[in-house]
């Protein structure tokens, strides 16, 4: 009985510590933002969210995030299949390289893209610029940066599921004459669907909130030719002491949390 009581108290203590930790990191800052938004009033909220620069930032953020998520879905699943279904040379090195976006600062990733695709001294940037293709300080560079920083999220959700599922059903389908595409659509995809859905949502949330790499490759241009996503617009408004900072930040937080919660609930039901 004494050991059960000690175990119960330790569980309560750990839960209290976890709640306090999450509260200090997330709940308190979010409460402060909500308080500022409420204090500024409804009219300020409407004006901030409907301003021309905010509308342009919505469009840019949506375009960058959606394309990045699609690319991560294709390459993330493909990379996961490569690592779990094929014994390729250097497989462990490839797996380690796939986690590079997590270890490298987003700002360094953005700088690397500038060095490769920069219009002046970039390895490929000068040739692309001569061909009329602009990468850095334009939408393509923002998509590349966002895709890079969010790449591991799909891969690391899908790969363990493929490892656990094994290859028995796929081998049986192959013996019965199913093509590689039929095996993927009818066996692999249903197996990984919950993990893939959650990975895509995490990738979307990461893409919506990306700042460092996008800041470097976009230049944070405002006005005509705007390259400011929502996170860059928030920073600009905060530094310029303009209104609307907290309102736009709250919108971004609400959308991100809603997506993650919906995906988590769907994953739990499965």
Q: What is the pLDDT of residues 25-51, one digit of tens each?
A: 777 778 888 888 888 888 888 888 888
pTM: 0.86
pLDDT at 200: 92
Question: 194 with 270: CB under 8 angstroms?
Answer: yes
Angle (deg, nearest 10), helices 52-85 and 91-98: 160
Concatenated DSSP letters of 191-230: HHHHHHHHHHHHHHHHHHH--HHHHHHHTT--STT----H
Measured in Å, how far apart are the chain's first and last C-alpha atoms? 37
pLDDT tens by residue, 45-102: 888 888 888 899 999 999 999 999 999 999 999 999 988 888 878 788 888 888 888 8
Cα dihedral sign, 130-133-134-140 = negative
Cα dihedral sign, 123-129-135-138 = positive
């Amino acid at each position: 009985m004494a050991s059960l009581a000690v175990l119960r108290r330790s569980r309560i203590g750990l839960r209290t510590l976890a709640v306090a930790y999450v509260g200090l990191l997330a709940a308190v800052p979010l409460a402060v933002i909500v308080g500022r938004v409420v204090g500024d009033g409804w009219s300020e909220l409407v004006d901030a969210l409907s301003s021309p620069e905010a509308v342009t930032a919505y469009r840019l953020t949506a375009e960058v995030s959606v394309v990045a998520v699609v690319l991560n879905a294709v390459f993330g699943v493909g990379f996961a299949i490569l690592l779990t279904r094929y014994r390729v040379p250097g497989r462990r090195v490839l797996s380690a390289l796939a986690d590079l976006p997590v270890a490298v600062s987003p700002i360094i990733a953005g700088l690397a893209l500038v060095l490769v695709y920069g219009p002046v001294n970039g390895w490929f940037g000068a040739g692309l610029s001569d061909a009329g293709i602009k990468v850095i300080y334009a939408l393509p560079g923002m998509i590349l940066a966002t895709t890079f920083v969010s790449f591991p999220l799909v891969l690391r959700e899908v790969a363990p599921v493929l490892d656990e599922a094994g290859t028995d059903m796929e081998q049986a389908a192959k013996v019965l004459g199913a093509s590689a595409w039929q095996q993927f659509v009818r066996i692999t995809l249903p197996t990984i669907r919950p993990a893939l859905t959650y990975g895509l949502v995490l990738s979307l949330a990461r893409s919506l909130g990306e700042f460092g790499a996008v800041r470097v490759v976009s230049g944070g241009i405002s006005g005509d030719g705007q390259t400011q996503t929502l996170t860059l617009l928030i920073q600009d408004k905060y530094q310029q002491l303009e209104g609307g900072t907290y309102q736009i930040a709250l919108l971004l937080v609400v959308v991100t949390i809603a997506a993650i919660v919906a995906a988590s609930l769907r994953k739990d039901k499965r």
